[in-house]
Amino acid sequence: MISRQTNYLKGAITEMKRLCASVISCVLILSLICSGLTASATTITGAVDTDNFVRGVDVSTLDMLEDLGARYYQNNVESDALTILKNNGANYVRLKLWVDPYKTFTNLPNGTYQFSIWAKTNGDQDVLQLYAKNYEGDELTTTITTSDINWNIFTIDEIVVTNNTLEIGVYTVAGADDWCNLDMAILRRVE
């Protein structure tokens, strides 16, 4: 009986993953279409300088989608999803750090990036830092400290990616009563 229930749950989870992948792919496609329409409309009217707009995408599930076999095309040519997004005006990336407080990118276009995150904390951790590594440079860190419990932004500038790979995250050594809330992790290509 347990075996049948386990197989049923595995099948249900697989179907949910496929459904989520389809929905997220549709959202990404709609986002690309909408950002293209917005850019065209503002270019035609000339009323707004589009370089000052934040055109962001959430790529938190991109690895999952690619693991499930998702492929991305621009002009009927298969290409890397991040490159397609960049080519269509995306200038910010939103990451949700699910269970593990880090994210590793492969096939990331080479260039200079900035990583920032909003945090609030009681400030009692022995170590609490934002980091960037595995990009063919020295590990970069920024200590997350605060003397109050308000939201503050912490940033690592000048992450020069030369190997199409980057790991970003948050590292901590803390006691049982220490806490930190994180939000709006943003990886942005600046050059």
CATH number of the domain residue 116 falls in: 2.60.120.260
| pLDDT (0 to 100) of residue 138 | 93
| pLDDT (0 to 100) of residue 185 | 86
Residues 102 and 191 in one domain: yes
Domain boundary (32, 62, 93) is at 93
Q: Which domain holds residue 2?
A: 1-93
- pLDDT < 50: residue spans in the chain: 1-3, 5-9, 12, 19-23, 25-48
| pLDDT (0 to 100) of residue 95 | 65
Domain boundary (45, 74, 93) is at 93
Residues 102 and 63 in one domain: no
Q: What are the distances in angstroms from CA 96 to CA 16, 44, 48, 88, 187?
A: 19, 35, 30, 22, 11
Taking alpha carbons only, the member of 131, 130, 127, 120 closest to residue 179 is: 120
| pLDDT (0 to 100) of residue 44 | 35
Please say whether the beta carbons of 54 and 116 come within 8 A.
Answer: no
Total domain count, the chain:
2
* CA atoms of 173 and 115, how far apart (whole Å): 21
Please say whether the beta carbons of 94 and 184 come within 8 A.
Answer: yes
| pLDDT (0 to 100) of residue 184 | 83
Residue 143: both structure tokens together: 């200590």
Please say whether the beta carbons of 112 and 160 come within 8 A.
Answer: yes
44-87: pLDDT as tens digits: 333 345 566 778 888 877 877 887 888 999 999 999 888 888 88
Domain boundary (93, 125, 142) is at 93
| pLDDT (0 to 100) of residue 43 | 36
Using DSSP, how many helices (H) and how many strands (E) does the chain show?
Answer: 3, 11
Q: Supply the Cα-derived Rg of the chain in whole angstroms.
A: 20
* CA atoms of 74 and 89, how far apart (whole Å): 13
* CA atoms of 82 and 66, how far apart (whole Å): 12
Please say whether the beta carbons of 82 and 161 come within 8 A.
Answer: no
